[in-house]
Structure 1
Amino acid sequence: MTRGRFVSLEGGEGVGKSTQLRALAAAIAAHGIEVVATREPGGSAGAEAIRTLLMEGSDDRWNARSEALLFAAARADHVARTIVPALARGAWVLCDRFVDSSRAYQGGGGGLTDADVMALHRVGSQGLLPDRTFLLTVSTAEAARRVTERGETDRMGSKPADYQERLATRFAEMARAEPDRWRLVDADLPASDVTAAIMAELAEWL
């Protein structure tokens, strides 16, 4: 059986990843392909339990190193119990965030080195990377508007402005460094146009 495809959506707060995940899952399923839509942290029973620890409480509940360890543990369970089995049976996995978010949040935002984050990823998830990663970008004003409209904000979404700026910088750096895997998408566009742009980049695999 042919291995499935692994696609991740990345970006800061308010870029529309959840909206695009739902739209892409429907569009790909229309081609007769099994789709597993999942998220990080989460996506398996163990990972969802760790998600509660990570996403609730005050901003200073965990420092960057503690966060990195918890994310790596959640990801390891997610990969072993959800992602790898789905890919092995030929399904496509669409993931709202993956290890690149740890590289940005705990790395660019929290000050850990990329080597530190990827070392944990090699141990926990055997270094698995998506086949294609889409970086959704929006203007600062539009991101703020969407976050406000959304209402409740979790620990990661409530990080201060300078942290959010470091995130954006780190995501852009990663995309430039790995052009074969990453694609940039202007998420200021209407949601349907964003979906169409992503699907156009996936057309060679459909």
Structure 2
Amino acid sequence: MDSKNLLLYVQGNAATNTLYLEEAITEMCELITKYTGGTYRMLNPIDISAANIKVAKVVEIKDHPGADKLYVLKIDLGDEQRQLCAGLKPFYPDPNDLLGKHLAVVTNLQPAKLRGELSEGMLLAGDDGVNVGILNPQKSKPGDQVYVDGVTEYKTALIEFGDFLKYTLEAREGKAYLMGRQMKTDSEEITLEKVVNGRIR
């Protein structure tokens, strides 16, 4: 019998759970190969473990000297301190509302300069179109790993900002989700300030 190639394309919508889509595609591929033979592979799978997100504490905050909407934050990651730039000023006009707070930070994003100030990572915040609020792991310690079920180890290799944009992050009922899976630490499920449903960026 001649071999044939089959391409299976599936597209969800905003209401579709990403994890559900992954499981459904896998099930379809396994059924096809069970009854017709052959093998399958997933094209361009997204590697969740490539984004290393950890809890950080804001230990210092100041206005960005060259941008009205940016803060420059010094954060504690448990074993090191770093500097971040964040566009939170319009939504947290009083910097004391952020000082001492715990955040969720992408720690292995390629460092970049934003209007002349170095940013060594990116904090995550929810956005519902009106409000923007930080992810809120207040029970966790600086340096704690933020993870999702099914992923036990996270990579430290640097990733580009464009690569991180491939991930789907969203707020649902006040809780944070990465690729359809709930974000958590060993101490708590990750919740958000100010935002109940919306995207996370």
For normalisation by structure 1, the TM-score amounts to 0.27
**Which protein shows a greater Rg?**
2
For normalisation by structure 2, the TM-score amounts to 0.27
Identify, as 1 or 2, the structure richer in strand: 2
